[in-house]
Structure 1
Amino acid sequence: MTSELERAMEGLITVFHNYSGKEGDKRKLSKKELKELLQTELGCFLETQKDTGTVDGIMQDLDENGDGEVDFKEYVVLVAALTVACNSFFWEDT
């Protein structure tokens, strides 16, 4: 039986690979694939963003090596940053 954290990790991996490789390298997300992932998996987050360049900005911030794609490590940085932000927002010290 797997733990909750192990299932969460498996979910992160599965989500990445459900979107990666539709165009080109199966181990990376193109800008189009990243946009689809963000819109589908984080639609509520993007709904609040009125800036049409949000995906471009996220892509630029994540693409550490400048190859125009987001690899798994770069994707995990996004998920970790959003998780920290959500924790700060939803889990207030009382």
Structure 2
Amino acid sequence: MESAIKTMVTTFLSSTKGKESLDSQSFQKMIQNNLSGMMEDTDSKSAIKDMQQGLDDNSDGKVSFQEYLNLIGYLANSLSQKKCEQNSDS
């Protein structure tokens, strides 16, 4: 679990390239490069833009670390639900 947390933080920091938040282009690249196996429509710029807008709680056009954590939480919850459904089907 420790390595997963380090990976999430490192991925965000390397994607921001020293800035505090991910701009649209950096967010798109991060999603395409790191989450295409877990998410649908990662090849769609409009889908990624919609996702970014949904995460952008303060409407500054960027994704902060806290907003990024909301995405990670959503993905973790979705994965957990899928695993529980698979286990109950067995």
TM-score (norm 2): 0.83
Match of 1:68 in 2: 61
Q: Deviations over 1:36-79 (max 9, x none)?
A: 00000011244x32865211111110100011100000000001
Aligned length: 86
Matched, 1:89 2:82: yes
In proportion to residue count, which structure has more strand? 1
Match of 1:58 in 2: 51
RMSD value over aligned CA atoms? 1.8
1:52 and 1:41 map into 2 onto residues whose CA distance is 15
Q: 5+ residue gaps in structure 2?
A: none
Q: 5+ residue gaps in structure 1?
A: none
Percent of aligned pairs sharing the same letter = 24
Matched, 1:12 2:8: yes
Moved over 3 A (4+): none
Q: Residues 85 and 45 (structure 1 numbering): CA distance in 2 closer, same or farther, change over 3 Å?
A: same
2:50 and 2:67 map into 1 onto residues whose CA distance is 14
TM-score (norm 1): 0.80
